[in-house]
């Protein structure tokens, strides 16, 4: 009896030793996180810049996927749409000309070479015209017009004045020339900012206006047309 009892006891002890240890979940998870946080597991991880770039390209891909899904014809339709948009942009670029300046600087009308007299601007304009450089000739003749009006005290010298502003201000003193002054300012803007090309006729129009303005009598404040004193 004692032998059988001993065998039974041994079997019970052996069975008890085979029961797995049940580790609580929270400590196990904390132990795993602690182990995975060691530097040895992160040697090949992408750096911050790489992660940011990956996220950016994932976002770009998502945008194109969404656009392809919404565009008629799927991806092929999206390609056609992109080509059409590029074509429209090229057409606008050709029609409007190369944007020379996005905004007007302090030297919108006069360049940064220092103040020059009307006679100097006229001489420069004639030199450009003789060399068939009509754009530069138009620019210098418009500057000569404005500088001449400043020298005659019909315009106050003001840095940063644009051609349009000069034409509007001069038109108040010389109302009979208002329309032609504005046309001259538009010609200046077209060749300076709009990428247009002037010709001989454009230059001769400004030259004639310059000569006529030099002889024109201004409308004095407090008087009206046809009234002499």
In tens, the pLDDT along 85-96 reads 787 777 766 666
Mean pLDDT of all residues belonging to the chain: 76
Separation of alpha carbons 125 and 122, rounded Å: 5
Instruction: Spell out the residues 6+ positions from residue 167 whose beta carbon is closer than 8 angstroms to its own.
Output: 178, 181, 182, 184, 185
Angular region, 69: left φ>0, alpha ψ -120 to 50, beta rest: alpha
Q: Report how far residue 201's alpha carbon sits from residue 211's, in angstroms, rounded to the nearest whole number.
A: 15
- 209 vs 108: CA distance, rounded Å: 21
The reported pLDDT for the residue numbered 131 is: 96
What gap in Å lies between CA 102 and CA 90, rounded to an integer?
18
- Rounded Cα gap, residues 4 and 57, in angstroms: 75
Percentage with pLDDT > 70 across the chain: 58
pLDDT, tens only, 168-215: 999 999 999 999 999 999 999 999 988 899 999 999 999 999 999 988
Reported confidence tier of residue 229, pLDDT bands at 50, 70, 90: very low
d(CA 219, CA 229): 11
pLDDT, mean of residues 96-106: 47
Q: For residue 127, give the 3-state DSSP assignment.
A: helix
Single out the residue of 191, 189, 194 nearest to residue 93, CA to CA: 194
**Mean per-residue pLDDT for 103-125?**
72
**Distance between terminal CA atoms of the chain?**
152
Output phi, psi for 207, to 5 deg: -65, -45
Take residue 153 and report the two structure tokens written for it.
Answer: 């005290």
């Amino acid at each position: 009896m004692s032998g059988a009892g001993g065998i039974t006891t041994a079997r019970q002890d052996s069975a008890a030793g085979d029961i797995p240890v049940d580790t609580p979940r929270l400590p196990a998870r904390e132990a795993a996180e602690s182990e995975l946080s060691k530097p040895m597991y992160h040697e090949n991880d992408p750096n911050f810049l790489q992660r940011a770039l990956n996220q950016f390209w994932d976002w770009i891909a998502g945008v194109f996927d969404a656009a392809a899904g919404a565009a008629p014809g799927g991806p092929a339709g999206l390609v056609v749409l992109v080509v059409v948009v590029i074509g429209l942009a090229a057409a606008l670029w050709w029609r409007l000309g190369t944007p020379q300046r996005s905004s007007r600087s302090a030297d919108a009308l006069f360049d940064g070479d220092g103040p020059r007299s009307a006679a100097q601007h006229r001489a420069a304009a004639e030199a450009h015209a003789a060399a068939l450089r009509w754009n530069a000739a138009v620019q210098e003749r418009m500057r000569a017009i404005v500088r001449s009006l400043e020298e005659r005290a019909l315009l106050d010298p003001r840095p940063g004045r644009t051609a349009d502003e000069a034409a509007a201000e001069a038109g108040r003193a010389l109302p009979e020339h208002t329309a032609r002054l504005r046309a001259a300012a538009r010609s200046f803007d077209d060749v300076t900012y709009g990428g247009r090309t002037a010709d001989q006729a454009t230059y001769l129009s400004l030259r004639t206006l310059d000569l006529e303005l030099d002889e024109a009598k201004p409308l004095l404040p407090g008087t009206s047309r046809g009234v002499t004193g």
